[in-house]
Structure 1
């Protein structure tokens, strides 16, 4: 019985560490007048938030929500479809989200379970040397 309780506690802790990021991705170019071009906006999933702090690639990514431009995350519902799992994640960022301080509550999310979104600082979440892709975190979402 103690082993079963310990396994359940470990599983709950693992799920509690998951995080979803709303990201804007870009290509770096050789043109000094336009150093990058937008690829689009997407959602990135990490099973463990500690594996999203040093440039690691996400465990799963949604399809791009836009192509060649960025999503207006604020004031609208955005749906990200994750083809690897078949899950759709819905984000609802407050209309004033862009003006919030880093770390401030910014809205809610849902994939069948409730999440809270917080403003991130626009940091480079992950990038690739080949192809020059760089994705920046605009908001991050933790399970309630």
Structure 2
């Protein structure tokens, strides 16, 4: 029975992940052991190596484990998940574009403060009520 199946440690070594990671992926239903032996060991089909490699590759693209679970679920149902992958990827790109815009706006704001402060003489003393008079000029939001 276990001649074609692999133990969790063997899978972990081949893929380069910790055994705990594989167990965690099980709790998220990303992978499933094929069976458990009488000794309590988890045994996996060789295809589990491909699934774990897919998970790692998807993570490098920024997919969350929940998104990866969705992709694997569609795949397990016999449907190619590529349209889902493209949809998720487009959502990630839109989110990144929004974040980049926010970062650019924030950068411009910081540059504005820097430029204004460079023209302001640095106070030689500070009062107990102000730690840094420059920062005190920033409106609170």
TM-score (norm 2): 0.20
Structure having the larger proportion of residues in helix:
2
TM-score (norm 1): 0.20
Greater relative contact order (CA < 8 Å, ≥ 6 in sequence):
1
Structure having the larger proportion of residues in strand:
1
